[in-house]
Amino acid sequence: MGKTLTEKILEEHLLVGELKKGQEIGIRIDQTLTQDATGTMAYLQFEAIGLPRVKTDLSVSYIDHNTLQTGFENADDHAFLQSIAAKYGLYFSRPGNGICHQVHLERFGQPGKTLLGSDSHTPTGGGLGMLAIGAGGLDVAVAMAGGPFYLTTPEVVGIKLTGQLKAYVSSKDIILKVLEILGVKGGVGRVIEYYGQGIKSLTVPERATITNMGAELGATTSVFPSDEVTKKFLVAQNRADTYKELTADEDCVYDHNIEINLDELQPLAAAPHSPDNIKSIASLEGMKVNQVAIGSCTNSSYTDLVKVAKILKGKSVHPTISLVISPGSKQVFEMLAKDGYLADLISSGARILESACGPCIGMGQAPSSNAVSLRTFNRNFFGRSGTKDASIYLVSPETAAASALTGVITNPTSLSQDISTLMPEHFLIDDNMIIPPLPDGSHIEIIRGPNIKPLPVNSPLDNILVGEVLIKVEDNITTDHIMPAGAKILPLRSNIPEIAKYVFTTVDKDFSQRALDKNGGFIIGGHNYGQGSSREHAALAPMYLGVKAVITKSFARIHKANLVNFGLLPLTFKNEADYENIDQGDIVELSNLVISLRNNQDITLINKSKNKVYELNCDLSARAIEIVLAGGLLNYTKGN
């Protein structure tokens, strides 16, 4: 029996374990990336490991999240990150060079390589045939130190694409269709692998849009073959030497199969407040729109924005619409300018933002009260835009541009002009905003601003945990709920005591103070707890507040790993109905933890307030259990 592409790459990088579904393995990581919202903590953790230089083939530190400088904090962090890169042997992508995933696709990604990034949308690299995985910053720090990255051997879902997209239907509509089929939990424990004749008509940026939003499925990652389309892109980026043909064997067998006929696909949208709340644009036509935002790591490529420029050329944005556009990289921005498309965008009335994440992470451009905002982004979680009562719809660039002209949701298939856009034969290559590693950075002094505080480290797990249920939350709680982002909070990423004040503020503004007053306690959650961003602060800040265990119906992959990394015990109800019988304020107890965890026994939770007993599961590998018992991955790594 043949092998899937996923199996081939995993096999080539396997360091620990066997490739058997459901078993833990450790793989070699070739490349890493960080961005400035997660990078400061990742590098504080790398420093704590104590090595003089990163051991990966290539590591890149990007500045793309915290670029809004309303105070000294972000600029100080950037100086810290630049000095860290110089000292420890990383490439440094300066502010203004672009969004990490877009730039990495253009300038660093390589077919067949493994990429670990401290950002949940790292799977963007799968559009190039990489096995690119999002993780917490501590996992990335360990990988930079040469350690394996551990994951559960995934199932592989094969998605066969047939046919070809019609005009004004885009790759964004493909991934929205996949989200409609699988939902935000449908990718958990799985890699999504695309194949079939339909992929031949999709460019690398279009493929990257699909793999980028695979993160919203909860998938470990998503991947396309590396073929002639990949080669054409790499040649155009003057990186032909990195090309490697990679495909699944024809006789491989996928664990699950899905087929999508691109001929039949129509423009789609993800309605509020979840990326899998899929509606057809036809069903939403005529809805009044207040804001349109085009860009993000999902849809900010050169070809994306050329199509937008062609739709807007010679026309004006509707008087009721605020249109903002963020080119994904300096390369994209500069090519749009040289080719005349930037003038078309500006002439239409679009407001051009810098090449950064911007509104996608709530960094400016919050919609007006009760607004409808169409965004070409990847997430529309409640409150993420910065306006709690706004309704955020995720759409393609074509739908966004068409609607910006009319002031209402508009089906782009109603347009008549030709917006077909060929991939450039040669991209503009100018890496002057990327600083390469120094041969020897031992003489470099690290710059530390006053907002960069020492890294909090947990203590080993106690055998008995007693405390109060500090909060009880519902299904699909995101890391945005747990640790909000935005222009006010993101600059505090290097200062855990300060950022911890904002834990759960969108759900319960008193949570942080209550946790401190009660000397910590427990969190109770529903299904898919911790979905969304890879931000490890959603585990690190609760740890700082004294949380020792999180008990849910189920966890999202990255957040569960982050809880383990910081020594917080992730447990699930053996009987989901028990979730209904426990409330905020209950005093609960976990006992005999060390023996129970090491012997893979069920954990007993005693509810002292209600005189009830619940059985809990701890679905962790032996290695992960030892990490939790040690008080987190940093303690475990130092002790081994």
* Distance, CA of 368 to CA of 390 (rounded, Å): 7
Residue 67: per-residue pLDDT: 86
Superfamily for the 5-264 domain: Aconitase, domain 3 (3.30.499.10)
Can you tell me the mean pLDDT for 120-146?
Answer: 96
CB 423 within 8 A of CB 233: yes
Tokens of 93: 């992508």
Write down the H helix ranges in 90-147.
100-107, 137-144
303, 229 contact by CB (below 8 A): no
Q: What is the structure's pLDDT at 583?
A: 96
Euclidean distance between CA atoms 32 and 48, whole angstroms: 18
Q: What percent of the chain has pLDDT over 90?
A: 88
Distance, CA of 494 to CA of 484 (rounded, Å): 15
pLDDT of 487: 77
pLDDT at residue number 414: 93
Partner residues linked to 150 by β-bridges: 26
- What distances in angstroms separate CA 589 from CA 461, 466, 593, 612, one per listed residue? 14, 4, 11, 11
pLDDT on residue 489? 87
Q: Which H helix or E strand runs over 117?
A: strand 114-117
Q: Report the distance separating Cα 460 and Cα 597, nearest Å.
A: 14
Two domains, one topology: 5-264 and 465-639: no
pLDDT of the residue at 156: 98
pLDDT band at residue 535 using 50, 70 and 90 as cut-offs: confident
Q: Span 422-440, mean pLDDT?
A: 96
- What mean pLDDT value characterizes the chain? 95
Predicted confidence at residue 107, as pLDDT, reads: 98
Q: How would you classify the pairing of strands 351-352 and 434-435?
A: unpaired
Provide the annotated active-site residues: 64-65, 119, 379, 533, 535
Distance of alpha carbon 167 from alpha carbon 376, whole angstroms:
18
Q: How confident is the model at residue 1 (pLDDT cuts 50, 70, 90)?
A: confident
Mean predicted confidence (pLDDT) in 85-110: 98
Which amino acid, residue 185? K
For domain 465-639, give the CATH superfamily.
Answer: Aconitase, domain 4 (3.20.19.10)
The average pLDDT across 23-48 equals: 94
Q: Which of 181, 359, 377, 186 is nearest to 272 (CA)?
A: 377
Break the chain into its structural domains and give their ranges.
5-264, 268-413, 465-639
Where are any strands of DSSP class E within 462-557? 465-472, 521-524, 547-552
Angstrom distance (rounded) from CA 63 to CA 60? 10
Correct CATH for 268-413 of 3.30.70.260, 3.40.50.300, 3.40.50.1100, 3.30.499.10? 3.30.499.10
Between 587 and 382, the more confident residue is 587
Q: Is the pLDDT of residue 472 over 90?
A: yes
Q: What is the per-residue pLDDT for 361?
A: 85
Q: Reply yes or no on whether the pLDDT at 640 is more than 80.
A: no
In the chain, the amino acid numbered 457 is V
Which H or E run contains 607? strand 603-607
Quick one: CA dihedral 260, 556, 4, 117, positive or negative?
A: positive
Identity of the residue numbered 472: K
Q: How distant is the alpha carbon of residue 54 from its chain centre?
A: 23
Q: Which two tokens stand for residue 224?
A: 């396309």
83 vs 191: CA distance, rounded Å = 36
Task: Provide the pLDDT for residue 486.
Answer: 81
pLDDT band at 534 (very low <50, low <70, confident <90, very high): confident
pLDDT tens digits along 545-559: 999 999 999 999 999
Please say whether the beta carbons of 234 and 355 come within 8 A.
Answer: no
Tokens representing 381 are 């979680």
Half-sphere exposure of 260 (CA within 13 A, CB side): 24
Say if residues 593 and 463 touch (Cβ distance below 8 Å). Answer: yes
Helix (H, G, I), strand (E, B) or coil at 279: strand
Output the CA torsion sign for 232, 237, 241, 244: negative
Rounded distance between C-alpha atoms, residue 586 and residue 286, angstroms: 49
- Region 213-218: what's the mean pLDDT? 95
Angle, CA of 625, 481 and 187, to the nearest 5° = 60
The pLDDT assigned to 274 comes to: 94
Gap between the Cα atoms of 57 and 31, Å rounded: 6
User: How far apart are the C-alpha atoms of 289 and 310, rounded to whole Å?
Assistant: 21
Q: For residues 327, 329, 331 and 334, what is the CA-based torsion angle, rounded to 10 degrees?
A: 40
Q: What is the DSSP string of 391-430?
A: EEEE--HHHHHHHHHHSB---GGG--S----PPPSS----
Q: Which of these ranges, 46-50, 570-574, 634-638, has the smallest mean pLDDT? A: 634-638
Please answer whether residues 58 and 31 qualify as being in contact, where contact means their C-beta atoms are separated by less than 8 angstroms. Answer: yes
Q: State pLDDT tens for residues 346-403.
A: 999 999 999 999 898 888 898 999 999 999 999 998 888 888 899 999 999 999 999 9
Among residues 298, 162, 139, which one has the least CA distance to residue 220? 139
The pTM is what?
0.93
Contacting residues for 41 by C-beta, under 8 A, at least 6 apart: 137, 455, 493, 494, 536, 537, 540
Q: Which helix (H) or strand (E) holds 207?
A: helix 204-212
Query: What value does the mean pLDDT take over residues 27-47?
Result: 94
Cα 378 to the center of its chain, rounded Å: 9
Q: Are 352 and 373 in contact (CB under 8 A)?
A: no
586 and 610 in contact (C-beta within 8 Å)?
A: yes
CA-to-CA distance for 62 and 320, rounded, in angstroms? 35
259 Cβ contact list (under 8 Å, min separation 6): 159, 160, 161, 162, 196
Distance, CA of 408 to CA of 320 (rounded, Å) = 9
Chain centre distance of CA 118: 8
Instruction: Give the angle subtended at the CA of 193 by the CAs of 192 and 198, to the nearest 5°.
Output: 125
- pLDDT tops 80 at residue 30: yes
